[in-house]
Structure 1
Amino acid sequence: MLYSLHELAYASASPFRIGAQMARTFWSSPLNPAADTAIGRTAFASAELFESVTRRYGKPDWRLDTITVDGHPIRTTQQVIWSSPWCRLIRFARNIGDLKRAKKPVAAPSVLIVAPLSGHYATLLRGTVEGFLQDHDVYVTDWSNARQVPMLEGRFDFFDYIDHVRDMLAAIGPRAHVVGVCQPGPPVLAACALMAEDEDPNRPASMTFMGSPIDARLSPTVTNELAEAKPFTWFQSNMIHTVPWPYPGFGRRVYPGFVQLYSFMLMNEDKHIDAHHRYFQDLVSGDGDGVEKHEEFYDEYLSVLDLSEEFYLQTIDIVFQQHLLPRGLLEHRGRKVDLTKITDIALMTVEGAKDDISGVGQTQAAHGLCTRLTDEQRVLYVHPDVGHYGVFNGRRFRDDIYPRVRDFIAAHEVASAVPERSAAAA
């Protein structure tokens, strides 16, 4: 019912949104003599603000057709290497000719970046992917919006997620490097343990976890406390809703992205109100830089996807309530996940001292669980000045965090790694 009401509210606002678009066009027209007056600029800003907060934000573009490496433009081509109804594995193939002209090595370590499946699209990691493209052959998980997956495609749960990680590493080839950003930490670590126990030739050479709830019992945040304060049945009853017609996933039970978005915005309500107030003032004053910065952030932040019921509820249960992985109790399809089987997959953890989503200690807990790794196979880094988002995006990620991860991957690149595949000419 809530999902249908949400859709009804959006449809009901359409006439007003169209009116705001017409007003925006009128008050920004160079043919309007009042456009550059205080009244005109205020009217334009009001219409623009209303339209921006009531529109539907679709999946953002990657906008990585060309990147800059050491001052040289390098074209990239997106290639779908593997896919299922629930995910596409995208490779950003760097143009070989551009690399040679920039005198950069064509062969590079293969890195699988596992994007979070927690409400936002994988494009939230645009800055992360761009950073790793400086020195690596980059692959990223592009998770599907559950409301776009027809019921005939079946379920997708926490254990399917683990299987997907294994399948994607197999598609890339032997001894790639895997980077789990936020939510993927526990299932990626479990996948690595299973592959290590099987002596799978496609097991990664290294694993890096950034701001991940490996053990959510440590330094609990507001998010962790909410997950533990409510009984499991509360999440079943209040957070799961049915996808309405005409979406392809009509009838599927999901955790809607808009529910999570509203929850996160309410946690920082004053911050978002202030940001939109500044946006309005920047529109009135004509501050293009401020407007562009605001729109760039919220165009991404307000783009959300739905999670399947089973994946969301199992994540709440396994990761945030029962803590099965750090307690050594997680089983995958009847088989115990034994982290002590990891002996030749190096481990790096990255945390932000100001992280209010995954508190300090939750990610580095992986070191205490992977007991058979040597000191030479471990790197633990806590950045003193970043929060959750800054762990994998922004200036401090580029300047402080990424160079450390790059050096860690380079130190554990193995001879059997697959050389970079040929990139299509742009």
Structure 2
Amino acid sequence: MLYTAYEIGHQALAPFRLFARAAAELYGSQLNPARDSWASRANIAALKVYESATRRYGKPEWELPFTEVNGVQVPVEIDTVIEKPFGSLLHFVRDEKALADAGVKGPQPRVLIVAPMSGHYATLLRGTVQAMLPGHDVYITDWADARTVPAFNGRFDLNDYIDYLIEFIRHIGPGAHTMAVCQPGPPLLAAVSLMSAWDDPTVPRSMTIMGSPIDARKSPTVTNLLAQQRGFEWFERNMIQTVPAPNAGMTRRVYPGFLQLFSFMSMNAERHSSAMWDYFENLVKGDDDSVERHERFYDEYLSVCDMTSEFYLQTIHDVFQEYLLPRGLMTHRGEFVDPSKITKCALLTVEGELDDISGIGQTQAAHELCTGLKPTERVDYIQEGVGHYGVFNGSRWRNIIQPKIADFIAERFDAKAEKAFREAPRQQAAE
């Protein structure tokens, strides 16, 4: 009923949003002699704030038409290399001629960025991708909004998520590197553990896990405490809704994105209220730079998507309540997940000192599990002065964290093996 009420409310406000847009254009029209007065600017600002606060934000565009390498603009195209009902594998294909013109000789490391399935689209990692593109051949997981997936496509849970990751890693091929940002830390660690136990030839050469709840018992945050204090049945009863018409996924049971967004915003309600007031004042003052920064951030932040109920509830149970992975009790399709089997995939963990989502120590816990790795293949880093978002976005990500990850990958990059891998398909095709 809650989702239906939300949908009805959204539709009911549509005429008022149209009126707000029309009125803002009227006040700002060249035909309005008072368009530059304080009253007109204040009215325009109020109407824009109302429209931005009540509209539904769709999936953002990547807006990465090129990357800059050694001062040369290199065109980038996004290729969907695997498309599945609940998620796709995207490849950011850089123009080879432009790379050569920029002085890039030979192949660069292939990196799979595993985006979180936690209520936001993969484009939340635009800054992450942007910083990795100049020196890496980047792939990313692009998870679907569950409300857009028809019910006949069936279920999607944490086990399916792990299956997707294994399929994506195998497609990218041997010698690749992986990065998990926040939520996907446990499933990536599980996927690599299973592939290592199977002696899979495509086991990644490294995995970087950032701000992730590998062991949510350590330094519990408000989010972790909520999961501990509420029983599993509470989440099932209060957080799961049925997708209503006219959405393609109608009748599917989901954890709605708007509930996740409300939870996140309520944790920092004062900051978001202040940001909205600053937005209004900057619109009135005509501070276009500040207005653009606000709109770019909130256009992304307010773009939310639904998760399937089975994925959400299994994650709550396995990761945040029973801590199955760090306790050695996690299974996948009946097989125990044993990170000690990992011997060929180096591990880097990154945490933010001020992270209020995944506390200090939760990501570091991966080192306690990966006992099969040599000490030289296990690296931990804590970035001072950043919260959860700052681990993978912002100036300290670009200037400090990303270069450390790039160095970690470079130390484990075999250029000759990479060249041989890339040429092998061409040789087979020629034969």
* Smaller-chain TM-score bracket: over 0.9
| Whole-angstrom distance in 2 between the partners of 1:350 and 1:181 | 10
Task: Check whether the contact 1:111–1:136 (CA below 8 A) recurs between aligned residues.
Answer: yes
Do residues 295 (structure 1) and 288 (structure 2) align? no
| Whole-angstrom distance in 2 between the partners of 1:46 and 1:381 | 44
Indicate the residue corresponding to 1:354 in structure 2. 354
Indicate the residue corresponding to 2:372 in structure 1. 372
Secondary structure of 1:199's aligned partner: coil
| Whole-angstrom distance in 2 between the partners of 1:410 and 1:199 | 24
Indicate the residue corresponding to 2:271 in structure 1. 271
Secondary structure of 2:134's aligned partner: coil
Number of matched residues?
A: 422
| Whole-angstrom distance in 2 between the partners of 1:237 and 1:107 | 51
| Whole-angstrom distance in 2 between the partners of 1:277 and 1:196 | 52
Indicate the residue corresponding to 1:37 in structure 2. 37
Q: TM-score, normalised by structure 1?
A: 0.97
CA deviations on 1:21-68 (whole Å, 9 max, x unpaired) are 111101111221111001110111111111111111000000011122
Q: Give the counterpart letter for 1:120 in structure 2.
A: H
Task: Check whether the contact 1:185–1:212 (CA below 8 A) recurs between aligned residues.
Answer: yes
Task: Check whether the contact 1:78–1:92 (CA below 8 A) recurs between aligned residues.
Answer: yes
Which structure 1 residue ranges, 5 or more long, are not aligned?
none
| Whole-angstrom distance in 1 between the partners of 2:60 and 2:69 | 23
RMSD: 1.2
Indicate the residue corresponding to 1:242 in structure 2. 242
Task: Check whether the contact 1:212–1:363 (CA below 8 A) recurs between aligned residues.
Answer: yes
Indicate the residue corresponding to 2:97 in structure 1. 97
Indicate the residue corresponding to 2:183 in structure 1. 183
Task: Check whether the contact 1:239–1:255 (CA below 8 A) recurs between aligned residues.
Answer: yes
Q: Give the counterpart letter for 1:150 in structure 2.
A: P
Task: Check whether the contact 1:174–1:416 (CA below 8 A) recurs between aligned residues.
Answer: no
Secondary structure of 2:135's aligned partner: coil
Indicate the residue corresponding to 1:400 in structure 2. 400
CA deviations on 1:283-326 (whole Å, 9 max, x unpaired) are 00000011001000000000000000000000000000000000
| Whole-angstrom distance in 2 between the partners of 1:162 and 1:416 | 27
Which structure 2 residue ranges, 5 or more long, are not aligned?
427-431
Indicate the residue corresponding to 2:107 in structure 1. 107
| Whole-angstrom distance in 1 between the partners of 2:183 and 2:81 | 23
Task: Check whether the contact 1:183–1:213 (CA below 8 A) recurs between aligned residues.
Answer: yes
- Aligned-pair CA distance for 1:339: 1.0
Indicate the residue corresponding to 2:332 in structure 1. 332
Do residues 47 (structure 1) and 47 (structure 2) align? yes
Secondary structure of 1:105's aligned partner: coil
Q: Give the counterpart letter for 1:110 in structure 2.
A: R
Secondary structure of 1:142's aligned partner: strand
Do residues 284 (structure 1) and 291 (structure 2) align? no
Task: Check whether the contact 2:70–2:103 (CA below 8 A) recurs between aligned residues.
Answer: no
| Whole-angstrom distance in 2 between the partners of 1:416 and 1:219 | 41
Q: Give the counterpart letter for 1:37 in structure 2.
A: S
| Whole-angstrom distance in 2 between the partners of 1:302 and 1:254 | 18
Task: Check whether the contact 1:90–1:140 (CA below 8 A) recurs between aligned residues.
Answer: yes
- Aligned-pair CA distance for 1:419: 3.6
Secondary structure of 1:60's aligned partner: coil
CA deviations on 1:263-286 (whole Å, 9 max, x unpaired) are 111111111100000000000000
| Whole-angstrom distance in 1 between the partners of 2:14 and 2:168 | 41
- Aligned-pair CA distance for 1:160: 0.5
- Aligned-pair CA distance for 1:97: 1.2
| Whole-angstrom distance in 2 between the partners of 1:77 and 1:20 | 36
| Whole-angstrom distance in 2 between the partners of 1:382 and 1:285 | 40
Task: Check whether the contact 1:96–1:106 (CA below 8 A) recurs between aligned residues.
Answer: no
Q: Give the counterpart letter for 2:133 in structure 1.
A: L
- Aligned-pair CA distance for 1:18: 1.1
Secondary structure of 2:203's aligned partner: coil
Do residues 163 (structure 1) and 134 (structure 2) align? no
| Whole-angstrom distance in 2 between the partners of 1:49 and 1:131 | 31
| Whole-angstrom distance in 2 between the partners of 1:351 and 1:184 | 14
Structure 1: 4+ residue segments shifted above 2 A: 414-422
| Whole-angstrom distance in 2 between the partners of 1:314 and 1:52 | 34
Secondary structure of 1:387's aligned partner: coil
Task: Check whether the contact 1:109–1:419 (CA below 8 A) recurs between aligned residues.
Answer: no
Q: Give the counterpart letter for 1:142 in structure 2.
A: D
Do residues 151 (structure 1) and 137 (structure 2) align? no
CA deviations on 1:353-384 (whole Å, 9 max, x unpaired) are 01000001000110111011111101110001
Q: Give the counterpart letter for 1:186 in structure 2.
A: P
Name the CA shift for 1:101/1:416 in 2 (closer, same or farther; >3 Å).
Answer: closer
Indicate the residue corresponding to 2:139 in structure 1. 139
Q: Give the counterpart letter for 2:345 in structure 1.
A: I
Task: Check whether the contact 1:213–1:363 (CA below 8 A) recurs between aligned residues.
Answer: yes
Secondary structure of 1:21's aligned partner: helix
CA deviations on 1:87-142 (whole Å, 9 max, x unpaired) are 11000011011111111235111000000000000000000001111110000000
Q: Give the counterpart letter for 2:397 in structure 1.
A: F
Secondary structure of 1:133's aligned partner: helix
Indicate the residue corresponding to 2:322 in structure 1. 322
Indicate the residue corresponding to 2:3 in structure 1. 3
Task: Check whether the contact 2:347–2:378 (CA below 8 A) recurs between aligned residues.
Answer: yes
Task: Check whether the contact 1:4–1:244 (CA below 8 A) recurs between aligned residues.
Answer: yes
Q: TM-score, normalised by structure 2?
A: 0.96
Task: Check whether the contact 1:131–1:398 (CA below 8 A) recurs between aligned residues.
Answer: yes
Task: Check whether the contact 1:265–1:272 (CA below 8 A) recurs between aligned residues.
Answer: yes
| Whole-angstrom distance in 1 between the partners of 2:79 and 2:46 | 41
Task: Check whether the contact 2:203–2:344 (CA below 8 A) recurs between aligned residues.
Answer: no
Task: Check whether the contact 1:66–1:74 (CA below 8 A) recurs between aligned residues.
Answer: yes
| Whole-angstrom distance in 1 between the partners of 2:108 and 2:224 | 38
Larger deviation, residues 26-35 vs 223-232:
26-35
| Whole-angstrom distance in 2 between the partners of 1:281 and 1:216 | 40
